[in-house]
Amino acid sequence: MINSKKMYPLYFLLPAGIIYSVFFLLPTGMSFFYSMTWWTLDDWEFIGFDNFIQFFQEPSLRIGFRNTLIFAFTTMGGKVIIGLLLAVFLCSKIRNKNFLRSVVFFPVLLSTIAVGITFKTMMHPTTGLINTALAKIGITGPNWLGDPSIALLSVAMTDIWKGVGIATVIFIAGIMAIPNHYYEALKIDGGNAFQGFWHVTLPLSRPALNTVIILALIGGLRTFDLVWAMTGGGPGFSTDLLASIVYKQYAGGFYGLATAGNVLLFLFVGLIAFPIFKFLNRKEVDL
């Protein structure tokens, strides 16, 4: 029998523990206090919940909650549905699947800023590639990023384009782990391909589905880079997400307010992601 205290010493955790505590846990803990201050880094003054009140009262700050929710759930939905369909397709008996898998995964490798800038030029209302192509088939394309009513969705579409590859890879890994005999049993019972998808693939790739949902949701709630590269939060505040509002407050020197925004973002992510995470894990099906 192994003496775990001797063979698996706790000091193995020390390097990771120190780095994680000093550079992540400690600042996170501090943020609760400093979110209630007027802060200049050198000096602070305690002001209670004023920063939070300001966040909920100013429309330009409040809009961040609504936009963040819309953005996170749109991109999550898109990545789940498109990623799952792509994965099923790329696990079928097609010849080019390795090529196609690489193609779909490739945008994941790219920098978000580069993707954002590229799509921003392609979404230009008059000279942009998308509207020029639409004009050729007789459609007048919208002003993708200039129209406040659709700008957020344009950014979300770009995010799906860039991130669907990782969802697809996770789904492929999940689907490939499903034992063959489930499909054989279904075939003996006379099931068709759609029934195979509905009754075998879908329920048994549940762990992959959970992973994709949680990762996409957390990623969506925290998005900053893409909005920054594509719209900078505009037009007006129509694409401002919580993370970009935090940046604006930080850049403006409102450190206490930025920290309060950070705390709200943290609570927001927790309140949305944590219950979903719990719920999904409870319903997980074992292979």
Output the 3-class SS for the chain: CCCHHHHCCHHHHHHHHHHHHHHHHHHHHHHHHHCCEEECCCCEEECCCHHHHHHHHCHHHHHHHHHHHHHHHHHHHHHHHHHHHHHHHHCCCCCCHHHHHHHHHHHHHCCHHHHHHHHHHHCCCCCCHHHHHHHHCCCCCCCCCCCCCCHHHHHHHHHHHHHHHHHHHHHHHHHHCCCHHHHHHHHHCCCCHHHHHHHHHHHHCHHHHHHHHHHHHHHHHHCCHHHHHHCCCCCCCCCCCHHHHHHHHHHCCCHHHHHHHHHHHHHHHHHHHHHHHHHHHHCCCCC
- Does 60 interact with other proteins (rule: CB under 8 A)? no
State which of residues 22, 53, 81, 185 lies at the interface with other proteins (CB under 8 A).
22
- Does 81 interact with other proteins (rule: CB under 8 A)? no
State which of residues 46, 56, 66, 132 lies at the interface with other proteins (CB under 8 A).
132
Residue number with CB closer to other proteins (54 or 262): 262
State which of residues 50, 125, 214, 234 lies at the interface with other proteins (CB under 8 A).
214
Q: How far is the CB of 113 from other proteins (least distance, A)?
A: 5
State which of residues 80, 104, 145, 155 lies at the interface with other proteins (CB under 8 A).
104
- Does 80 interact with other proteins (rule: CB under 8 A)? no
State which of residues 77, 204, 233, 286 lies at the interface with other proteins (CB under 8 A).
286
Residue number with CB closer to other proteins (149 or 282): 282
Query: Mask: binding to other proteins, 148-187, rule CB under 8 A, as x and -?
Result: -------------x-------xx-xxxxxxxxx--xx--x
Residues 252-281 that bind other proteins (CB under 8 A): 255, 258-259, 262-263, 265-266, 269-270, 273-274, 277, 281
Q: Which residue matches tokens 């894990």? A: 281
Considering only CA atoms, give the Rg of the chain. Answer: 23
Residue number with CB closer to other proteins (15 or 149): 15
- Judged by CB under 8 A, the stretch of 51-59, 62-70, 135-143, 246-254 that binds other proteins is 246-254
State which of residues 53, 66, 102, 252 lies at the interface with other proteins (CB under 8 A).
102
